[in-house]
Amino acid sequence: MEKNNSSEGMDLPWGSEWSKKFVTNVGLITSSDGAEDNIMSSEWTHHVSYSPGIIAVCIKKTNTTHDNILKTKEFGVSLASQDQNILAYVAGTNSGKDLNKISVLKELGFKFFKAEKINALLVEGASLHLECKVWKSIELPERTIFLGLVVERHSVPDKTSLIYHSNKFWKFGQEIEKPSEQEMKKINEAVEKNKK
């Protein structure tokens, strides 16, 4: 039910005209329960600190990944590259409670490699590979935000990340230039004029 009392906050439901305005990457979050490896797609995968490197992932409490991270206090992050839309779809539309997604993806030709400092797989061909240990967690009503301290990073391949927007996958398009020299002059003049 959508809440509209300002003291309670309002819902931004999945697929709504509000939530579809956000643009994110597609995080491929890998974990293990010690017996079976798992993967899920997470549009809520964000780099939130440079030093130390900290990654935030927001995971639904009913997901296998949530259970695995709670148990092991670690997870892998591979950012899906533009040619991994099928992988991201399979990882995001199936539950690890009902299906061994890693086996399905291997059967479809996708490859994985073992992380070095955590017990999880990472996705070959992704645009970024990070290994994280849980630093802190924040409880939300339906989800938990896990803040992962980066304990290992792998060389960055020449790959561009997949984009998720309006419930669809996208590629990067035309670059939009930063302000021109003339525009920067106007901006700087306005800034100087309005300093406190």
Question: Percent of the chain scored above 90 by pLDDT?
Answer: 82
State the pTM of this model. Answer: 0.90
CA distance 47 to 44: 10
Each residue of 31-77: pLDDT tens digit? 999 999 999 999 999 999 999 999 999 999 999 999 999 999 999 99
